[in-house]
């Protein structure tokens, strides 16, 4: 997601150092900082996730759900606000 000050490029040092270790269904997963609350909320509500990436400011983020659906996370351009 654009505007995250805790991420740099995918696999970058800053991104790696700021990942959140999150226990999900018996395993610990490393989640990008800027989407960890969304991932935690989905799983707590019974919508289980299998993979995720915030997009690191270069592409849309995504959260893959256990049932095969993919949630896309896009950040509005500056000045557009929420839709």
**Conformational region of residue 3, where left means phi above 0, alpha means psi within -120 to 50, and beta covers everything else:** left
Lowest mean pLDDT among 3-17, 28-42, 52-66: 3-17
Query: Per residue in 63-79, pLDDT tens?
Result: 999 999 999 998 766 55
Q: pTM of this prediction?
A: 0.78
Query: Per residue in 40-55, pLDDT tens?
Result: 999 999 999 999 998 8
- b/e string for 29-59 if b means 16 or more Cβ within 10 A? bebbbbbbebbbebbeeeeebeebbbbbbee
Assigned token pair, 41: 């909320």
């Amino acid at each position: 997601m654009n505007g995250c000050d805790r991420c740099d490029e995918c696999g970058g040092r800053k991104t790696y150092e700021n990942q959140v270790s999150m226990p999900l269904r018996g395993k610990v997963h490393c989640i990008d900082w800027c989407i960890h609350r969304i991932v935690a909320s989905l799983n707590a509500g019974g919508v289980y996730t299998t993979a995720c990436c915030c997009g690191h400011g270069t592409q849309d983020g995504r959260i893959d759900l256990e049932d095969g659906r993919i949630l896309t996370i896009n950040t509005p351009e500056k000045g557009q606000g929420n839709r």
